[in-house]
Amino acid sequence: MSNSIGHNLLHQSLLCSTVLEHQSKLNSSGIPANSLFQAATTNQAARKSPISTKFYGANLKARKPKLAMGSRRSASITPRAVLAVDSASEQVAGKFILDGNIELQVTVSAPTSGSIRLVNIQVSYGSDSLLLHWGGIHDRKEKWVLPPRQPDGTKNYKNRALRTPFVNSGSSSYLKIEIDDPSIQAIEFLILDEARNKWFKNNGQNFHVKLPMRKNIQNVSVPEDLVQIQSYLRWERKGKQMYTPEQEKASDKFSCAKIEEYEAARTELMEEVARGTSIEDLRARLVKKNGHEIKETSVHEMKNKIPEDLVQIQSYIRWEKAGKPNYSPDEQLREFEEARKDLQSELEKGVSLDEIWKKTTKGEIQTKVSKQLKTKKYYRVDRIQRKKRDLMQLLNKNVAKPVEKYEISVEPKALTAIELFAKAREEQDGGSVLNKKIYKLAGKELLALVTKPAGRTKIHIATDFKEPVTVHWALSKKGGEWLAPPSTVLPPGSVSLDGAAETELRSSSSSDLLYQVQSVEIEIEEDSFVGMPFVLVSGGNWIKDQGGDFYVDLVYRSKQVQKDAGDGNGTAKALLDKIAEKESEAQKSFMHRFNIAADLMEQAKDAGELGLAGILVWMRFMATRQLIWNKNYNVKPREISKAQDRLTDHLQNIYKSQPEYRELLRMIMSTVGRGGEGDVGQRIRDEILVIQRNNDCKGGMMEEWHQKLHNNTSPDDVIICQALIDHIKSDFDISVYWKTLNDNGITKERLLSYDRAIHNEPNFRRDQKGGLLRDLGNYMRTLKAVHSGADLESAITNCMGYRAEGQGFMVGVQINPIPNMPSGFPELLQFAIEHVEDKNVEALLEGLLEARQDIRQLLSKSNERLKDLLFLDIALESTVRTAIERGYEELNNSGPEKIMYFITLVLENLALSSDDNEDLVYCLKGWNDALSMYKSKSDNWALYAKSVLDRTRLALYSKADWYQRVLQPSAEYLGSLLGVDQWAVNIFTEEIVRAGSAAALSLLLNRLDPVLRKTANLGSWQVISPVEVVGYVAVVDELLAVQDKTYDRPTILVARHVKGEEEIPDGTVAVLTPDMPDVLSHVSVRARNCKVCFATCFDPNVLADLQANEGKMLRLKPTSADVVYSEVKESELAYSSSTKLKKDGASPSLTLVKKQFAGRYAITSEEFTSEMVGAKSRNIAYLKGKVPSWVGIPTSVALPFGVFEKVLSDNINKAVVEKLQPLKKKLKEEENSALKEIRETVLQLAAPPQLVQELKTKMLSSGMPWPGDEGEQRWQQAWMAIKKVWASKWNERAYFSTRKIKLDHDYLCMAVLVQEIINADYAFVIHTTNPSSGDSSEIYAEVVKGLGETLVGAYPGRALSFVCKKDNLDSPLVLGYPSKPIGLFIRRSIIFRSDSNGEDLEGYAGAGLYDSVPMDEEEKVELDYTSDPLITDGNFRKSILSSIARAGSAIEELYGSAQDIEGVVRDGKIYVVQTRPQM
């Protein structure tokens, strides 16, 4: 019976190991703290054994924290019998004199029966507010216990003490306490007069009164199995409290509590035996109570009983031999029994207990234990073992859709009196405003307006205060200066002072004003003054600008002048107007702001992406201190916390229901903080008092901070707390305190601006160091729990559970762990916490990302604790970013493998936080392949990695563009409404990007890029058009923005962005860019045709140097792989033929012959002639039957020249003609906006029936499908495509291009080539002479996945490029792998290609100027090159590229000249869709 009861006790975690040091080692080895291997007894610890120093020490060490009852040293607890006082009479335990003449007397009486002790306390002090603040003490324990038997009126004080009211009897007060717990050896107390907040102490310490016991029970012993049963019964009586392993591991307090429980049970039984109860009766009573029967035990069995502690040692040895598995509770009990059998077997062999002791402690007991497979450890000590995952499981395609126009009712906001006053003065002074700012002051407004009419500076100061106001002011010639104003500028009634002046504001009224405004006008003629500092005086009070002077700039500073709010395009304008309307209320406190935000969340959700962007911008302005946090409004921390909780609940609910907004919601949550109901916020108030009391620091800075915390806590308090910790750790270096504050944006002025200002610096004693570090560290947990959404430790605590441990911190807090967390997750989080400050961050990054991966699935499911999981994930994400930044140094001497691995980690972090992450996931897969290629020593690893790097950069640009598009308009509009500093508005999106993983990833890419270029022999340049030139350097942001400009001197354009479809401006001799347009893009072809140097620069340092030469004249000498540049003198310009600007007459003389309608609306390829169609159509017809049979040529028909004009002249389109005539006239008058209107008008054309019939006949006779057979709608799609081709005659690029070379635009005719679309696997463009080097023995080609529009259009990224010698067409050489993220794919369809008479004129490259339009819209697909055989299968790649090269060679041979060829690959077969002479 006793054994089974003992096992039950052990299973329930009641009993403590007799050696805490050994227990900690067991825990660190992997045994749960509630395992069966904890010892069951304490009195057997004195047994001598060879392992006593390891397993069973001589005493128990319990470290005790400092508590409210005073300071005592840690006790060394030796298990022993308890000595009681044998006295039945009442005796005086002590007399004390309090506060001069107040007498305190305490008497105690020993129990006469049972175990109740009486304590009588009498004070010669009559008061109705006198309280006894008290608790019990176990044997030599410092921590107070709260006796269950308590006098009437007793209240529990924060689970740390009891407070019992005294009975007032006139001149004195008395109190009687009964103690029935025999384990309580003494009571300690203080006396509090609550009304006077006065404490009575015993010379600064607690009063300590020992309690008597009935008789000497030193020689009484009780069997351990009975103690175990009694301990179990006590545990049952107290509600069977359970503890998690984490709580048990947290400190030694849990272990000591178990010792106390066990010893209390022993004491109860010893007293009962001392009173005369026999052991047999005791056993019978306990067994009956516990519902068990006891068998008769023979004397022999009693003598040979195996001691429990010996069984435990044998259990531990068995556990070690088995490989330290993680046993379940049932397995623990089974192992315990097996250990007992091992020992019993030895006993039955005749071995004595002493010999068994020796053999056991030496591990010599024979045992049958097979080495078990341990439950797989989740991580090693130094590194976690990451799970193998399919990266495609990371994929999110949650794209926000545009929201239909929504309405939010916003009351029209009437102008305030101050705004009306400002408007009137601006109009009066002619609108010449230098500076203007309206300050919000306790519900009132203050205007500072500076105008400059007629060269004189006027300063208007006005306020709507009802009380008289005086402005105390001066002038400045430099910032921060106070100079007495000259008497000539003083308004009437002013008083000159030393270094200043005072002027009373005068009341002014107007019929336009709602009520009176007080104002003063100061006029200054001297321009040497740059500013005016001032403060206000009203009712004897100084009114300042957040603790500092107001300051008005008297000179125009563009950076500080706020932009006009504008029309709010690109924003949820109505919502932002509502926010601006509510801002004055929100400024009262965080509670007000968060509650207002919560009220607006439904409206923000209805507004979609832009609505949530508006909330984010608002919260971000708050977090960066651009908005007022608190304005003369006291609010309790728990109220702030509750408001935070309400707002984050709304955010959590939207997160659940609308995954397309999750990225924005995460960003909002990270600015708001966690919050929490009830005491989570109130602890901020309570615990600062604990710090002050524990450490005797109640004045100075700490008291000022205490007052600030009580008035209105804010995220600044986290920084202040950290600054204090850093200050103390630095041995009280005050400069460290200020550095921490300043590094985080808190200046002395900001400390003074709080409603409860902090004036003093910290001033601690050296003996306070340990206690302050401990208590401030604990307090930081509380502050972060409320204010820090991204704090890892508090986020982990919130998810994994927490129970208060006393010490005055986190009192009353109990957070339950989130259920159904992934297996091994707590250990993973523990690993992260233990390694979070490691200098070498690789293992930490792996652990953090493994944790993010583990909870990813939980974040997509409904969970009542989703908010806590979100804050944990945000904290993990943030910690990855900070770790990466700390780890840059680790990469200084690292090779490319480690840098690439770090890139994968940061990219994974970014993908885990993104709503639409498909491109990022494919980039991540690409980096993993690059790493594999590097490890396998592939020759092309660097070339491949460079393509992945380029694609990753494009993904980052796309991410930044999304932020700019979604957030910046809201930042600009709301910032202007709220008066946010313009600099903060300007950099809003930039700072968002910098704060995320994208910035860290960009830095890693920049570090790797030169390594890859060097390894792959790419150099710093890719030269697209190698022309030597001399010109003046001009730096532009986009080539597109200047494509219509004409430079009047030879110009080298350094353009940050080139898409590929732009025109090159007149006067340009070179275009240099970091962008990577395809070698065969329109701008590349145009550069080569016009003999303009065109090159991509990969080295940011070289590019920066070129930009630094802006305005200087440089000579560029390009080769096929490099550009050498040097500065030249003006005189050299005349000798460079390349610098001569082409005059109008120098342009080649080009003329167009206007084509006429030939009487046919449609023709087959056999009918293609130069009078009917352009070169594009004729060339494709010429190839048919002449190229090798393995080269396919698509079937073609055409709408010949003149058909457009014929359709336009048809009576059914008379109205269209009438619209076009005035538009063409506008165009001739240089109104280029008419181009778009003309295109839109052309699309209104109707198709003559004869055209429809002829086109149908020709298409069907050529074997092409007729769209109309699928219904009228399909024909209308085809007709619209035809009209779009015709309308492209008026696209901007084509129009300006023809105008530059003086072509008559009216003579430009457009035929339409009609072909069936081949749904391509790949598309290619071939130049049969290498365009970069001019080498005619070498074919150059580019290949993209999908349709060729991504190759010839302005799609970002590079194609796969290769060269092939014409004498060795089976050996293509890859020059670059693809980085284009997008491929275009289409269903079986028809394409209508432009074929004008202006595309192939000699000396003019018109190709690509006009549009080719498919009948159906192409599908954009994110490309995964890691599954593309063209990239992954070398044999397949060689076969396809060789076939492309052979097709190019055959067509060049057919024409006898270099060709520019377009084609596609479908199922391995080559198709050529067009060819033209290579320009």
Give catalytic residues, as residue numbers: 1082
The answer to whether the CB of 423 falls within 8 A of the CB of 447 is no
Measured distance CA(899)–CA(1004) in Å, rounded: 7
Measured distance CA(397)–CA(291) in Å, rounded: 62
The answer to whether the CB of 445 falls within 8 A of the CB of 566 is no
Backbone dihedral angles phi then psi of residue 619, each to the nearest 5 degrees: -65, -35
Measured distance CA(1041)–CA(496) in Å, rounded: 57
CA dihedral 1308, 1309, 1315, 1319 (to 10 degrees): 20
Element (H, E) at 317: helix 308-321
Measured distance CA(56)–CA(40) in Å, rounded: 12
Three-class HEC string of 483-507: ECCCHHHCCCCCEEECCEEEEECEE
Is the torsion defined by CA of 716, 722, 725, 728 positive or negative?
Answer: negative
Element (H, E) at 1037: strand 1029-1038
- Helix then strand count (H, E) for the chain reads 44, 47
Measured in whole angstroms, how far is the alpha carbon of residue 1206 from the centre of its chain?
Answer: 61
Give DSSP secondary structure letters for 638-666: HHHHHHHHHHHHHHHHHHHH-GGGHHHHH
The answer to whether the CB of 808 falls within 8 A of the CB of 690 is yes
Give DSSP secondary structure letters for 240-298: -----HHHHHH-THHHHHHHHHHHHHHHHHHHHHHTT--HHHHHHHHHHHHT-------
Nearest to 247 by CA among 1066, 963, 813, 1054: 813
Mark 958-981 as b/e (b = at least 16 C-beta within 10 Å): ebbebbbebbbbbbbbbbbbbbbe
Is the torsion defined by CA of 297, 298, 302, 306 positive or negative?
Answer: negative
Residue appearing with tokens 């074929």: 1395
Q: 1421: which 2 tokens?
A: 């697909």
Task: Give 1409's DSSP letter.
Answer: S
Other C-beta atoms lying within 10 Å of the C-beta of residue 299: 7
The answer to whether the CB of 172 falls within 8 A of the CB of 126 is yes
Measured in whole angstroms, how far is the alpha carbon of residue 973 from the centre of its chain?
Answer: 24
Mark 1063-1079 as b/e (b = at least 16 C-beta within 10 Å): bbbbbbbbbbbbbbbbb
Three-class HEC string of 1199-1257: ECCCHHHHHHHCHHHHHHHHHHHHHHHHHHCCCCCHHHHHHHHHCCCCCCHHHHHHHHH
Measured distance CA(357)–CA(242) in Å, rounded: 33
Burial of 709 (0-12, 13-18, 19+ CB in 10 A): buried
Return the bridge partners of 1374, or none. 1362
Q: Which residues contact 1269 (CB under 8 A, 6 or more apart)?
A: none
Nearest to 914 by CA among 668, 670, 661, 671: 661
Residue appearing with tokens 């410092």: 142
Backbone dihedral angles phi then psi of residue 84, each to the nearest 5 degrees: -110, 160
